[in-house]
Chains A and B, each alone.
Chain A
């Protein structure tokens, strides 16, 4: 399995990461090494094994539909990079 620089660029874009040329090469190499390592798992025959979504053998952990106090808005906004009143201020949403 081999990851191309193009795929690394795509993944970087999805994660909103800016990479320069040498970083792209470096990460492509490193990611490929990781994938090669994981590839080893394919040597095992898993054809008779159910896919696993969760590793812990528990299910149906619920809470009751009951209210608990929320946080104070000042506390909520304490880490906001920018605010307007009690709103978080964020950049505009539409692509140009």
Chain B
């Protein structure tokens, strides 16, 4: 039967590296890259006789993430050993958390679903663990490599795992969920969430069932999803693959598959080991964590107003269109910038127009992040006030804005320096109007002969004459008056 007759069931497991300076259980740096095996010590290499000690900030960041994702925070939590053999795990166990005393559980976030409505996607848990090392393959990819090369610099970087419930129903929804999660984590500042550097990673569980069925199908876990696009493409591919197998009547089995970006396919990695095979047991080298109200309150206070709330406020109180509100609230830095400018200027619409059009255009064109922009919110507000006061026209303001963007100079200084002050003196403008009409007798005759559009040409000439500085509202009026006198 066609794919449309199946219900696609997806749950994502997202890993985010925490933005601490040092690793979770030792003082090695968490810095990305570096010479292979240069950021390691006996603790993160798992040499015998060492004692891991928890980085308090890693725990606090995990709780902060849990709070931002509407989780319940456990008053008591502990670490456990998860045992498995893989070359990126030098101890042959990962210090993680079994699901009995997790730091955070039972959360949810709201995600845009296909029909424009918001959908609540449940989060099973957020727990803290150590990252594993990194494998560099000898071939072009995991499939054709004869051996692996291990770099343990990443081993022991604090990592949170965010396990979503299987509430997602399409590849598109899965991508939306991941993007929303990333936005929220970026807002809290606990992770830099760079998929290209692996500080945000995603595995997807996907299964199919006939529409209306209650039982879940047999799932495949897809690994190696290194971009938002990969998440969507791999899930679209995998849904098709599973539908074909069901149609052929083939027996399904639980498995782990890898996304091969180059070939655009998922390939079998291994048949999946059950949870009990990890033989979790409490980590004897680390003592439990007790989280009191004082800590919870302190961490709650570090969370800024989150994007959904800002978006609502921008639309309801400031009257921004949904598209603008969405885009501006989608980045904490941009939203903070916008709000600071609104506070200086006093009105939101004009600020959002300049942010959405001119600022965005220049940021994209110059490939600059909002955090590095040279125009301060106060300078933007000042420029808007210059327009309001009639000192510069809206058109000239674009030139001023561009100059501000490139140099960071004060708008008033730019206007003075470049002589961009708007000409609103009617005597001066009338003289220019006369000159323009004298120089273009044909257009003047056309206008007087009934061709109203000839005025447009004369307006253009006046703007050219004044290098755009003529007050546009006055130009039309003065030209018309001057022409009438020549009838």
Residues of A participating in the B interface, judged by any CB pair closer than 8 Å = 14, 16, 53-54, 56, 58-71, 73, 76-77, 84-95
Contacts and interface: CB of A to CB of B under 8 A. Distances in A.
Interface residues of B, number: 53
Interface string B260-299: 0000000011100000010100101011111000000000
Contact of A88 (B56, B150, B279): B150
A32 B139 CA distance: 46
Nearest to B267: A94
B337 to A, nearest CB: 28
Contact of B287 (A56, A71, A87): A56
Contacts of B38: 70, 73, 76, 86
Contacts of B41: 68, 70-71
A65 B28 contact: no
B101 A53 contact: yes
B57 interface: yes
Contacts of A90: 87, 135, 147-150
B21 A77 contact: no
Contacts of B36: 73, 85-87
Nearest to B153: A70
A65 B282 CA distance: 24
A86 B39 CA distance: 12
B142 interface: yes
B21 A66 contact: yes
Contact of B39 (A14, A65, A70, A87): A70
Contacts of A14: 83, 277, 279
Contacts of A16: 85
A95 B40 contact: no
Contacts of B40: 70-71, 76
Greatest chain B CB density within 10 A among A63, A64, A91 is at A63
Q: Which 6 A-B pairs have the closest CB atoms?
A: A68-B27, A87-B149, A62-B56, A90-B87, A88-B150, A65-B57
Interface string B131-143: 0000110000011
A14 B85 CA distance: 8
Given A71-B45, A76-B45, A93-B86, 4 more contacts: A14-B279, A59-B289, A87-B150, A88-B87
Contacts of A87: 36-37, 136, 149-151
Greatest chain B CB density within 10 A among A65, A73, A89, A90 is at A65
Contacts of A73: 35-38
Given A65-B22, A73-B37, A93 B148 contact: yes
Nearest to A61: B287
A8 B54 CA distance: 35
24 contacts: A53-B78, A54-B282, A58-B287, A59-B289, A60-B287, A60-B288, A60-B290, A62-B55, A62-B56, A63-B55, A65-B55, A68-B26, A70-B29, A71-B40, A71-B41, A73-B37, A76-B37, A77-B37, A87-B151, A88-B37, A88-B152, A90-B150, A92-B145, A93-B148
A48 to B, nearest CB: 19
A76 B210 CA distance: 53
Nearest to B44: A70
